Amino acid sequence: MKNSCKVHMAQTAGSMRATFVLLAAIVFCAPACMPSGSFKITTIPENQTLRERVVIKDKFWTSNRVAIIDIQGLLMNAHANSLFSEGEHVVSFTVEKLQKAADDRRVKAVVLRVNSPGGTVTASDTLYEEILAFKQKTKKPVVAYFQDVAASGGYYLSCAADEIIAQRSTVTGSIGVIMQMVDVSGGLSKLGITTDAITSGEYKDAGSPFRHMTVEERELFQTMVNGFYAQFVDAVDTGRPNLSREEVVKLADGRVYLAQQALDAGLIDRIGTLHDAIDVAKRRAGIEDAHVVLYHRPLTWAPNVYAQSPAPPAAGATINLLNINTSSDWTVRPRFLYIWDCQSQGI
């Protein structure tokens, strides 16, 4: 019995040593795989309230501010993927920034810096409604500025802004809805695998990836998609008063547009840079001078106005050091999406 205990303790000690060696390898060998620099180990402040950082200074005597609020990546009602911790919840994080801008009397206008292919219908619509509520409550102008991609849900929420400016290299549009479905029944049958479901109603397992969709189920889902599509058209129709509803419907076939095409079609107001968007925001607020600020968590470094690098529009990411695939499962579980689905278009 004593010998077995000793063996068990030795195995446990060996396992702990192996874990320690692995962690040590990550800590000490990572610098060899990464650009030269330094590592800082510090405590994380308990108070994670957003901080303000001035990234563009105007005349020193002015107290006015223009706040840049970034809306990046996939719009989901979930926390973003992160290696060692739970990332920010894009909807919650954006609303938190809007609230800070609303509470600060020095903030006279907001620039939404959008770089997103869209996301779920609910997340996109929630942000759209929150921006409208911010404008109604504060009477502060909101200008949307598009970076690489501002498509589908990214464009949807921007329709709540007072003016839309796009970089000349922006891709935007993709007005429409998609419900991505997966059918793996053919592959399972080749493996000799069958599935069965006991349901309380005819449509309880509608959209299941384990069987073919019936005609009735497709009609049911199509009706729902059409409803969300009408909601999207309503938002564009309201936000783009220069376009009739008939013109919006003609443009809303799901295609994407280059910035110049979007300008010619009336989907945006002008082509310009971030600085142009800031100038428009100041003009709409009726001010000439203002510092430009970003909001960030404690310990987050923001040396200039471009410090918040655009989040990749793709649905997944690869962390090179550990080669961890963090791709989303939105293509597996049926969801209603305002998203530019590049993958289904072979891009």
C-alpha closest to that of 122 among 180, 69, 74, 70: 74
- Alpha-carbon distance of 337 to 179, in angstroms, equals 6
The helix/strand/coil state of 345 is helix
- Alpha-carbon distance of 157 to 116, in angstroms, equals 11
How is residue 259 written in tokens?
């910035």
For 248-259, b/e burial (b = at least 16 CB within 10 A) is bbebbebebbbb
- Alpha-carbon distance of 99 to 65, in angstroms, equals 15
- Alpha-carbon distance of 26 to 257, in angstroms, equals 44
Paired sense of beta strands 163-166 and 142-151, if any: parallel
C-alpha closest to that of 164 among 109, 237, 112: 112
Paired sense of beta strands 324-325 and 318-319, if any: antiparallel
- Alpha-carbon distance of 292 to 305, in angstroms, equals 8
Q: Which residues pair with 294 in a beta bridge?
A: 53, 68
So which residues are the catalytic ones? 152, 204
Q: Euclidean distance between the first and final Cα of the chain, in Å? A: 63
Residue 231's CB: how many other CB atoms inside 10 A? 16
- Alpha-carbon distance of 291 to 302, in angstroms, equals 15
